[in-house]
């Protein structure tokens, strides 16, 4: 019987594929990703950058975080909203800071609510994904956290920030993805093999 959600089978297959990577393969992919992203002007000029801690085989942006700190950039990590549980806020992160698992088991910075910022205060958001196409469409894990937290970007006319870039293994690229009205389009995707700028 076919899945009622056309994204479900693709999500299941690609999640399994990235979880099957060895630790060595993941480390190599992370290093290549960092090299590709660090060459981008957008990364070099951004001062406030959000990334994530890898989960479920996601490509690890750890090398990028290290580069960002060395370049004196401010690095932020997502934190689930304590009021609206389908939204993300962002907390400034530093090497060795205290982390605590959220309800999904993903570590988050331990900070006061007053220290959290919204996505609109960032220059660059680097987010994980399960699949992407070259038009800037993505499939996430299915919770819609990033789409809801970045929904304001769909209506912007003058806003230029944040720029939103997906990070992925190159094998997560597909020809074309189904798009829902609430999906937030990416400016591009960086993988371990290259950089894809979203095209119409």
pLDDT given for residue 77 in this prediction: 97
Average pLDDT over residues 57-73: 96
Task: Note the pLDDT tens digit of each residue in 165-176.
Answer: 999 999 999 999
- The answer to whether 186 and 138 are in contact (CB under 8 A) is yes
Annotated binding site for substrate: 53, 58
Residue 161 reports pLDDT greater than 90: no
Residue 192 reports pLDDT greater than 90: yes
What is the Cα gyration radius of the chain? 16
Annotated binding site for ATP: 7-11, 138-146
Helix (H, G, I), strand (E, B) or coil at 115: helix
- What pLDDT band is residue 131 in, cutting at 50, 70 and 90? very high
Closest listed residue to residue 144, CA positions, set 181, 92, 101: 181
Beta bridge partners of 189: 166, 196
- Report d(CA 18, CA 141) in Å as an integer: 13
Q: CA 115 → CA 31, 79, 92, 128, distances in Å?
A: 31, 11, 8, 23
Average pLDDT over residues 111-122: 94
Average pLDDT over the chain reads: 91
- What pLDDT band is residue 86 in, cutting at 50, 70 and 90? confident
Average pLDDT over residues 119-144: 93
Domains identified in the chain and CATH numbers: 6-197 (3.40.50.10420)
Annotated binding site: 7-11, 53, 58, 138-146
CA dihedral 182→189→196→155, nearest 10 degrees, is: 30
């Amino acid at each position: 019987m076919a899945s009622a959600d056309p994204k479900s089978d693709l999500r299941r297959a690609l999640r399994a594929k990235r979880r099957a990577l060895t630790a060595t393969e993941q480390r190599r992919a992370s290093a290549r990703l960092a090299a590709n992203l660090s060459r981008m002007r957008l990364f070099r000029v951004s001062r406030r950058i959000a990334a994530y801690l890898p989960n479920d085989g996601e490509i690890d942006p750890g090398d990028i975080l290290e580069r960002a700190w060395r370049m004196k950039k401010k690095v932020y990590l997502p934190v689930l909203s304590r009021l609206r549980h389908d939204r993300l806020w962002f907390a400034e992160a530093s090497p060795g800071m205290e982390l605590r698992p959220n309800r999904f088991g993903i570590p988050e910075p331990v900070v006061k609510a007053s220290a959290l910022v919204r996505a609109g205060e960032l220059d660059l958001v680097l987010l994980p994904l399960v699949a992407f196409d070259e038009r800037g469409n993505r499939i996430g894990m299915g919770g819609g956290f990033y789409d809801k937290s970045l929904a304001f970007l769909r209506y912007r006319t003058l806003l230029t920030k944040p720029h939103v870039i997906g990070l992925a293994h190159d094998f997560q690229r597909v020809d074309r993805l189904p798009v829902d009205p609430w999906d937030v389009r990416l400016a591009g995707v960086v993988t371990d093999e290259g950089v894809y700028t979203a095209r119409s």
